Structure 1
Amino acid sequence: MASKLPDLLWAQRVPHVYLTIDLPNVTASTAKIELTEDSMHFVGNGGIDQSKYEVTVNFLKSIDIEKSSHAIKPRNVIFFLVKKEEEWWPRLAKEGKARNIKVDWNNWKEEDEADEDEQPPSDFDMSQFGGMDGMDFSGMGGMGGMGGMGDMSGLGDMGGMGGMGGMGGMGGMGEPDDEDDDDDDIPDLEAGEGEKEGDEIKEEKKPEEEEEAKEEPKSE
């Protein structure tokens, strides 16, 4: 039975190429991938019916085989190809256009749009290349450093932000109100004292009133 030809999708940046064999359910145990400086050859079973697929691509320019790598994923096979010379390729294959080679528009950027510090597309998750010889992650826009986010454990102190629940303690701000209440009570206390003084005055006047009452009959 003749092998089928899978579709290839490609995108690039000045330093590297993103190449995808658009074939799901590739059986890793039976797939054979040969990657050289000038070409890529794939043969393996995939698709719903696990048919045999095979494809060969002769690259327009050479790649650095030591820094390039690939990974078999559930939906496709991906390649991260590092160019030997950092330059823009007008096409992927040396032979020219091929009916099964298509532009990966989801990941494509024009030469003047590419950012040197940008991270690889999500489809090309670098964790898929973990442990590959020659794979230098230091030049991958610091993705490895993202793991350093684990250091955010130091932000556990921010858990103290929960202490802002202690802002409830700002209910203690009510204390000045209590003091104000005390201040408001002061006039009442003075009034009370005034009343006591008034009572004392009245008490002092009682004897005089009694004397005046006694003197009235004498005037008659």
Structure 2
Amino acid sequence: MSRLPEVKWAQRVDKVYITVLLPDAKSPKVNLEPDGRFTFSATAGAENHLYELKLDLFDKVNVEESKINLGVRSIFCVIEKAEKEWWKKLLRGDEKTPHYVKVDWDKWADEDSDDVPVDDMDLGGMDFSNFGDFGGMDGTGVEDDMGDDLDDTEDEEQEAVKQDGEVLETKAEAVQSA
């Protein structure tokens, strides 16, 4: 009888990431069909247990553009979607997601998140090279004035409120108790 490996998944609008977590997998076989059928088999462990996995992905995929990386600790698949759209779940059908299939939160991105790499962002032709010198923190004296204000505040907090020559509390304590 075969065992089920743990699977993690995440998606982008154009691809699905599937990671099969199976350390030291021997003779891994991965098959992907255009209709979204994903199969995996390998042996692992000291007793060479057989691990098998069959997933019916939510929608059709582009097999030719998809990639598989066989690593020592896992098998990582980048599966290109046939249509660029967000899937509402990984698997087709109304059944509950199997217990061995989990979201890969390290790779997850929401539909409305900004996952465009910084180098590819369209800045509308704006040139930010002139914004290198931010005023105030480059020796113009602004930070000196800020430091004086803080020193005055500390001095005021240290002054005591006195009544009949007896120290009752500092101004800061008086404000807190009010």
| TM-score normalised by structure 2 residue count | 0.61
Give CA-to-partner distance per residue, 1:139-188, whole Å, 9 cap, x none.
xx7xxxxxxxxxxxxxxxxxxxxxxxxxxxxxxxxxxxxxxxxxxxxxxx
- CA distance in 2 between partners of 1:79 and 1:85 (Å): 18
Shift of 1:47: 3.9
Shift of 1:35: 1.1
- CA distance in 1 between partners of 2:114 and 2:73 (Å): 26
2:32 counterpart (12, 18, 35): 35
Shift of 1:21: 0.4
- CA distance in 1 between partners of 2:81 and 2:114 (Å): 16
Structure with the higher helix share, 1 or 2: 1
Give the fraction of aligned pairs with identical amino acids, expressed as a percent. Answer: 31
Paired residue secondary structure (1:67): strand
| TM-score normalised by structure 1 residue count | 0.50
Letter in 1 for 2:84: E
Letter in 1 for 2:80: V
- Which aligned segments of 4 or more residues in structure 1 are displaced greater than 6 angstroms? none
> What is the total number of aligned residue pairs between the two structures?
117
Alignment pair present for 1:116 and 2:113: no
- CA distance in 1 between partners of 2:118 and 2:3 (Å): 36
List gaps (5 residues or longer) in structure 2: 121-178
Structure with the higher strand share, 1 or 2: 2
Superposed CA RMSD in Å reads 1.9
> Which residue does 2:75 correspond to in 1?
77
Alignment pair present for 1:103 and 2:103: yes
List gaps (5 residues or longer) in structure 1: 120-140, 142-220
- CA distance in 2 between partners of 1:107 and 1:3 (Å): 29
- CA distance in 2 between partners of 1:26 and 1:118 (Å): 36
Letter in 1 for 2:11: Q
Give CA-to-partner distance per residue, 1:174-209, whole Å, 9 cap, x none.
xxxxxxxxxxxxxxxxxxxxxxxxxxxxxxxxxxxx
**Mapped contact 1:10–1:103 kept (Cα < 8 A):** yes
- Superposition pairs of residues 157-176 of structure 1, within 5 angstroms: none
- CA distance in 2 between partners of 1:104 and 1:74 (Å): 18
